[in-house]
A and B are shown apart, each in its own frame.
Chain A
Amino acid sequence: MTISIRSVDKQFGRYPALSKVDLEIADGELLALLGPSGSGKTTLLRTIAGLEFPDAGQVLFDGEDVTFASAADRRVGFVFQQYALFKHMTVAKNIAFGLDVRKGKDKPSKAEIAQRVEDLLKLVELDGLGKRYPSQLSGGQRQRVALSRALAVQPSVLLLDEPFGALDATVRKSLRKELRRVHDATGVTTIFVTHDQEEALELADRVAILNKGSIEQIGTPDQVHDQPETAFVCGFVGEANCFEGQVGGGEFKAGALRLPAGGVRDGSATAYVRPHDFVLDDGGFAVRVDRAHVQGALTTVNATAADGRPIEISASRAEAPRFQGTVKIAARKAHVYAA
C-alpha cells in the first residue's frame, strides 16, 4: 500500500511537533524515520497509525483520505517500544486478539485463528511458546510476540515505534535481521522509528531524517550518508568533524583549514568532514596526534590543529604507525553549508 503524507501540521500545546511534513511511501517499502528525540518522528508514525490526528494536512492510504479515520478502522499493525502486550493473556491470545475482536462474517473461525497464530509463531521463531504469559518471556521474545500480533491482522502497513529501543545490543542486532526477513517474506509496507542511525542505515530501503518537526532529507542510506543535503543531516548521520568558518570566493576557511566550497554563498558557514575523509597529505595542514587507537581494521586518531581544534581521523590499521607527533593532513571531501 502506498502512503502519502501531505503538509501535515501538529502542535502539542504551543510546541510544534510536526510542521508541513510531506512524505510519499511506496508499496512494499521499508522506511526508517530517523531523528533525535523530540524531532517529531514518533508523532509522525502515530499520525499514520491514527493514534494522533493532525491539526492540518492529509494522510492518504492508496490515495484514499484516512486523515481522521480511527486507529481501529485503518488496519495498521503497530508495534510499541514497550511491547504493550496484554499481560493477562497468553502469547497465543495476544496474537489472536486482532482476529478475535472482529465481528460477524469478518471473523475467522476458531480453527483459522489457531492456524494463523501457529504460522505467526513459526515466522518469528517462537513455536511452542503460545501458552506462555508475556511475563514468562525475555524482552526480545516479547517484542517478537508484539510483531506477530501486529502482523496477525494482515495489516496494510506495519508501523514500529523504536521497536528495539528497550533491548540490549545483541538482541537488538538479531531482531533487526529478523524484521528485515519478516518484511521480505510478507512484503508489507513498513515504517519504523529510530534514533539509532546505524539501525536505520542498515535496515531501511529509504531513510527520512527529521529535525524539529520537519523532514530534512529523504533518501537511500547511501544518499543520506554520502550526499547530506543539510548541515543537520551531515552532522547527525555518520561521524563528522564540524568546523565553523567563513566562505569567500568559493573557498571555506577555518584556521589553517581550507576547503573547496563552490556554490556556497559568502559569509559564515559550517563545514563537515567525515573522519575517513581526512588523509595524510604533505600539502595539507599540520595537526598534533594525541592518540592513535587501533580497533579492528581501523585506526582512530585524535588530533589537535594548530588553533586548538580537536580533529578526529579514521585511517586503515596499516597506517597506524604513521600517526605520530605532528602530521600533515588534508580533506579529500567535505560538505559546506552556509550558516
Chain B
Amino acid sequence: MWRARTLDDDQTMTAETAARRPPAPPSKRTLFRRRSAIPGFGLTMGVTLTVLSLIVLIPLSAVVLKAAQQSPAEFWAVATSQRSLAAYRLSFGAAFVAAVINGVFGVLTAWALVRYDFPGKTLVNALVDLPFALPTAVAGIALATLYAPTGWVGQFLTPLGIKAAYNPVGVTIALIFIGLPFVVRTIEPVLRDAAEDVEEAAASLGANRIDTILRIVLPALAPAWLTGFAMAFARGVGEYGSVIFIAGNMPYKSEIAPLLIIIQLEQFEYARAATIAVVMLTVSFTMLLVINAIQAWARRFD
C-alpha cells in the first residue's frame, strides 16, 4: 500500500521538478572546445600550437615552398631523373625487403617474448630496443665492419659468392637492424592482450594447433603486423645514418634517396634537394595515412 503511494509521490515530484526546471542552457561550446572544469586549456593549447608551428609545420612548409619555386617541368625532371628513380628504387626496395624480413622474425620474436619462458628472456626483451637506443652512425660502422668482405660475417659470405656490404644487400641489412623493434613492439602488446580463450575455442571445435595459429591467431594479429610493417618501412625509407657506411653510395647502384638530398645540398642545388625531399615527404605522409587507415579498419572488429 505505502509502496504504491510512494510511487505516486515520486511521479508528482518528477512532474513538478520538470516544470520548475529552467529551459536547458545553451550548450556551452566555444569555437571548437567543450567547456571543461580543468583550467589551463588556453595557455597550454596556445603554447602547443605555437611551438608545433615554429619547430615542425613552418619549417616543413619551407621545403614545399622551395620546391615550388621551380616550374612543374623542372620539378618533374628532377623528381624523376634516372638517378633519382634509381635512388627511390633502392630506398623503397631495400626498406620493403627489410620490413618483410622483420615481419617474419618480428612475429617470431614477439611470440617467443609473450608466450614462452626461457633463460635470458629479460635480456632479449631489453635487447630488442637496442636499435632505438643505439646511435645510427654506430650501428652503421659496426654493420659495415661486420659485413665487409674481411669482416666477422663477411669472410664467411665471400667464399659463397655473396657480397653483403657496399651494395643493396648491405642497405637491406642496415634497415633490418633499424626496423626490427617497430615490428616486435607493435605486435607484442596485441599478442599480450589477445585472450587465449579464442585459441581454446578453436581447439575445442576440433582445430589442430597449426590451423589455430594460421586461421585464428595470425589473422587477429594482421592489423598490428601491417602497422609494424608500415612503420618499419617508413623508417627505412628515410634512414640515413646506419645505411650510409654500408651502402657503397655508388650513383645509380647503391645510392639511397636521403643521400641524394645531401649531395644536391653540397652542390648548393637547394631546389633540387627540396624536390627530392618533397617526394619523400609525400611517401611519408602516405604511409602515415595508411597506418591510420589500418588502425581504423582494425577497430571495426573490436
Instruction: Tell me, yes or no, whether A and B come into direct contact in the complex with CB atoms closer than 8 A.
Output: yes
**B197–A80 CB distance below 8 A:** yes
1/0 per residue, CB under 8 A from B, across A76-92: the answer is 11101010111110000
Q: Are the CB atoms of B215 and A101 closer together than 8 Å?
A: yes
CB pair A101–B201 under 8 Å, yes or no, is no
Docked CA distance A153–B204 (Å): 10
Q: Choose from A87, A88, A101, A134 the contact partner of B206 (Cβ within 8 Å).
A: A101
Asked, given contacts A87-B220, A101-B215, whether A82 binds B195 with beta carbons under 8 Å apart, the answer is yes
Contact residues in B for A78 (Cβ distance below 8 Å):
200-201, 204
Interface string of A111-145 (1 = CB under 8 A from B): 00000000000000000000001110000000000
Quick check: B3 and A88 within 8 Å, CB to CB? no
Within 8 A of A (CB), among B1-30: 1, 3
What 0/1 readout, one digit per residue, does chain B (212-223) give for beta carbons within 8 Å of chain A? 000110011010
Q: Distance (Å) between the CB of A81 and the closest chain B CB?
A: 8
Contacts A80-B197, A135-B302; A86 near B204 (Cβ below 8 A): no
Contact call B206/A80, Cβ cutoff below 8 A: no
Q: Mark B175-212, 1 if CB is under 8 A from A, else 0.
A: 00000000000000000000101101111111110010
- Kindly state the separation between the CA atoms of A102 and B207 in the bound complex, as whole angstroms: 7
Residue ID in chain A nearest B219 by CB atoms = A88
Q: Quick one: which of A50, A77, A80, A101 has the most chain B CB within 10 A?
A: A101
Contacting pair B197 A153 (CB below 8 A): no
A70/B301 in contact, CB under 8 A = no
Asked if A72 is at the interface (CB within 8 A of a chain B CB), the reply is: yes
Does B33 interact with chain A (Cβ within 8 Å)? no
CB neighbors of B among A54-71 (8 A)? 70-71
A84 and B201 within 8 A (CB): yes
Q: How far is the CB of B218 from chain A (nearest CB, A)?
A: 10
Q: What total count of A-B pairs have CB within 8 Å? A: 79
Whether a CB of chain A sits under 8 angstroms from the CB of B115 is no
CB <8 Å contact, A135 and B207: no
Question: Which chain B residues border A133 with CB–CB below 8 Å?
Answer: 300-301
Measured between C-beta atoms, what is the minimum distance from B60 to chain A in Å?
A: 37
Separation of A197 and B301 alpha carbons in the complex (Å):
35
Q: Which residues of A contact B215 (CB under 8 A)?
A: 97, 101
A24 to chain B, nearest CB (A): 22
The digit string for A138-157, where 1 denotes a CB below 8 A from any CB of B, is 00000000100110110000
Closest to B301 in A: A87
Check if A72 sits within 8 Å of B200, measured CB to CB: no
- Assembly CA distance A68 to B150 (angstroms): 56
Find chain A residues with CB under 8 A from B207 CB: 72, 97-98, 101
What bracket does the count of chain A residues touching chain B fall in? Answer: 20 to 34
Task: Mark interface residues in A250-275 (1 if CB within 8 Å of B CB, else 0).
Answer: 00000000000000000000000000
CB contacts (< 8 Å) of A146 on chain B: these are: 201
How does the 8 Å CB contact mask read for B120-162 relative to A, with 1 for contact and 0 for none?
A: 0000000000000000000000000000000000000000000
Cα–Cα distance between A50 and B3 once the two chains are bound (Å):
52
Q: Report chain A residues within 8 Å CB of B202.
A: 86, 97, 101
A88-B220 contact in complex given A82-B195, A135-B302, C-beta closer than 8 Å: yes
Least CB separation from A71: chain B residue = B203
A101 near B301 (CB under 8 angstroms)?
Answer: no
Residue from B200, B205, B206 within 8 A of A51 (CB atoms): B200
Contacts of A72 in B (CB 8 A): 203-208
CB–CB A153/B201 < 8 A: no
> How many angstroms between the C-alpha atoms of A85 and B72 in the bound complex?
54
Q: Which residue of A lies closest to B201 (CB)?
A: A84
Q: Does A287 lie at the interface of the complex (its beta carbon under 8 Å from any beta carbon of B)?
A: no
Q: Which residue of B lies closest to A76 (CB)?
A: B204
Q: Mark B233-258, 1 if CB is under 8 A from A, else 0.
A: 00000000000000000000000000
- Whether a CB of chain B sits under 8 angstroms from the CB of A209 is no
The interface residues of chain A lying within 8 Å CB-to-CB of B198 are: 84-86
CA distance A102 to B211 in the complex (A): 10
Q: Does A331 contact B (CB under 8 A)?
A: no
The reply to whether B211 and A80 contact each other, CB–CB distance below 8 Å, is no
Using CB atoms, name the residue of chain A closest to B221: A88
Contact between B206 and A135, CB atoms less than 8 A apart: no
With both chains docked as a complex, state the minimum distance between the C-beta of A6 and any C-beta of chain B, in angstroms: 22
Q: Give chain B nearest CB distance to A160 CB in angstroms.
A: 12
Contact of B201 among A50, A73, A80, A294 (CB under 8 A): A80
Q: Which A residues are CB-close (under 8 A) to B222?
A: 88
- Give the docked Cα–Cα distance between A71 and B205 (Å): 8
Given contacts A87-B301, A88-B220, contact A153 B205 (CB under 8 A): yes
The residues of A with any CB-CB pair to B shorter than 8 Å are 49-51, 70-78, 80, 82, 84-88, 97-98, 101-102, 133-135, 146, 149-150, 152-153, 294
Instruction: For the A-B complex with A88-B301, A98-B207 known, give 4 more contacts whose Cβ atoms are closer than 8 Å.
Output: A70-B203, A87-B220, A101-B205, A134-B301
The 5 closest A-B pairs by CB, nearest first: A98-B205, A84-B197, A78-B204, A84-B201, A101-B207
Can you name 11 A-B residue pairings with CB atoms under 8 Å?
A71-B200, A72-B205, A72-B206, A73-B206, A78-B200, A88-B301, A97-B205, A97-B215, A135-B300, A149-B205, A294-B3
